[in-house]
């Protein structure tokens, strides 16, 4: 008796996931986190109108959702000043990234990203046999010029850029990205991940035509709109590219409650403004706590703050481990020199109180651990 016959590519891939979720960590440690500040979710939650709309729609969940996402696409088109034909929906930006790679990348095709950038993109590229080429960050920013130069060198199908950036919280102006597009090689698609754009300064998104065939932008309801568990993101770009997603997307992949919840969330600008205010307030508090403990908070255009621990990756990992042991869920960049930092999501006042209580002890334990190892 034999099992399934895996393709060589799949058989060769490691059985890993990009992130270990907080629920997994809670089961491993046998306790709930006191403060959940690691996944860049919005602890402030969705609009009350979105919650009510989703609750009402649960009674209709026996029906398949509208596979064309008509109402939500039209609402997004009005917001973005484009047409519904410019918009594709997916199960979060993660799902859209997977579909984009599936659409464009064959085994052996070159793809360019930054070393240490969002790892789920890399996971999709590996799953379809693409060859990743990575360029280092420059001054804690993704290096647009280096990314585009590497794309020209390797004839890349895709360049991935997040702006604002995860995990560093840094950003480029939209004008800088628009100017750099002159150097994007012909036939290369820029996938611009704008998951955090609602938190960013005015002018962070490039002022480029939505029909520009060199570019697809991706946004989400997971961050500012507080609907991470609904798994809903959208991309917008040239109609020809957007139509191509219909060849491979899961047409019934966006469930009914998510569609109506997102539609209600879009119409509640007052709640989004309140979330942005609360996030800014919390980020200032994270910076204050960090600086009171001798650490440096990096400038951030997101809903998290990346904190420089002032040493190397081993020290930052020891700080993170000590925080997790005390019930504070945080994460950190994976690649040096950015791994000298930890990354803390904006939270409620009670979350900040837990952080303020636990951080001094975590730093002390990290120093002691490294002395013992030395």
pLDDT classification of 2: cutoffs 50, 70, 90: confident
Residue 2 lies in a domain: no
Q: Which of 239, 268, 297 is the last residue of a domain?
A: 268
- This prediction's pTM: 0.96
Residue 300 lies in a domain: yes
CB atoms within 10 A of CB 80: 15
Q: What DSSP state is assigned to residue 290?
A: H
For 243-254, write each residue's pLDDT tens digit.
999 999 999 999
Residue 226 has pLDDT above 70, yes or no: yes
For 228-246, write each residue's pLDDT tens digit.
999 999 999 999 999 999 9
Q: Domain range holding 153?
A: 49-268
Q: What is the pLDDT of residue 210?
A: 97
pLDDT, the chain, mean? 96
Cα 199 to Cα 40: distance, rounded to the nearest angstrom = 12
State whether 212 and 277 are in the same domain.
no
For 77-100, write each residue's pLDDT tens digit.
999 999 999 999 999 999 999 999
CATH number where 168 lies: 3.40.640.10
Residue 131 has pLDDT above 70, yes or no: yes
Supply the DSSP string of 230-245, one letter for each residue.
G--EEEEE-HHHHHHG
For 17-50, write each residue's pLDDT tens digit.
888 899 999 999 899 999 999 999 999 999 999 9
State whether 149 and 232 are in the same domain.
yes
pLDDT classification of 343: cutoffs 50, 70, 90: very high
Helical axes 349-373 vs 313-325, angle rounded to 10°:
130
Supply the DSSP string of 174-231, one letter for each residue.
HHHHHHHGGGSPTTPEEEEE-TTGGGSPTT-S----TT-TTEEEEEESSSTT--GGG-
Q: What is the pLDDT of residue 373?
A: 67
Cα 122 to Cα 367: distance, rounded to the nearest angstrom = 33
Q: Whose CA is closest to 217, among 70, 71, 333, 82? A: 82
Residue 3 lies in a domain: no
Q: What are the DSSP E strand ranges found in the chain?
A: 35-36, 87-90, 110-114, 131-135, 158-162, 189-193, 215-220, 233-237, 296-297, 304-308, 328-329, 341-345
State whether 247 and 106 are in the same domain.
yes
For 264-313, write each residue's pLDDT tens digit.
999 999 999 999 999 999 999 999 999 999 999 999 999 999 999 999 99
The answer to whether the beta carbons of residues 72 and 259 sit under 8 Å apart is: yes
- The radius of gyration of the chain from alpha carbons, rounded to an integer in Å, stands at 21
């Amino acid at each position: 008796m034999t099992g399934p016959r895996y393709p060589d590519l799949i058989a060769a891939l490691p059985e890993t996931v990009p992130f270990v979720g907080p629920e997994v960590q809670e089961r491993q440690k046998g306790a709930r986190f006191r403060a959940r500040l690691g996944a860049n979710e919005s602890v402030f939650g969705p609009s009350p109108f979105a919650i009510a709309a989703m609750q009402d729609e649960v009674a209709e969940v026996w029906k398949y959702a509208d596979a064309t996402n008509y109402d939500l696409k039209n609402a997004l088109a009005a917001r973005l000043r484009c047409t519904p034909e410019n918009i594709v929906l997916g199960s979060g930006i993660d799902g859209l990234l997977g579909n984009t790679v599936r659409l464009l990348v064959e085994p052996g095709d070159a793809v360019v990203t930054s070393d240490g950038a969002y790892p789920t993109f890399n996971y999709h590229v590996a799953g379809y046999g693409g060859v990743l080429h990575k360029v280092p960050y420059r001054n804690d920013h993704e290096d647009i010029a280096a990314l585009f130069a590497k794309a020209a060198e390797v004839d890349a199908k895709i360049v991935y850029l997040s702006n604002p950036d995860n995990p560093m919280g840094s950003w480029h102006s939209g004008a800088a990205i628009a100017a750099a597009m002159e150097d994007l090689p012909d036939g290369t698609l820029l996938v611009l991940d704008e998951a955090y754009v609602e938190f960013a300064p005015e002018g962070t998104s490039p002022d480029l035509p939505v029909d520009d065939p060199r570019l697809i932008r991706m946004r989400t309801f997971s961050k500012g709109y507080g609907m991470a568990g609904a798994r809903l993101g959208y991309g917008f770009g040239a109609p020809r590219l957007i139509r191509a997603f219909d060849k491979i997307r899961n047409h019934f992949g966006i469930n009914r409650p998510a569609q109506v919840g997102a539609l209600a969330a879009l119409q509640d600008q007052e709640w989004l403004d309140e979330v942005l205010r609360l996030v800014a307030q919390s980020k200032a508090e994270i910076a204050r706590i960090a600086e009171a403990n001798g650490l440096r908070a990096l400038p951030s255009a997101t809903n998290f703050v990346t904190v420089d621990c002032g040493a190397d990756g081993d020290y930052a990992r020891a700080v993170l481990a000590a925080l997790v042991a005390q019930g504070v869920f945080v994460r950190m960049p994976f690649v040096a020199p950015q791994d000298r930092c930890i990354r803390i999501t904006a939270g409620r006042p009670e979350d900040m109180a837990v952080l303020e209580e636990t951080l001094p002890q975590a730093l002390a334990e990290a120093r002691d651990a490294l002395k013992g190892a030395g």
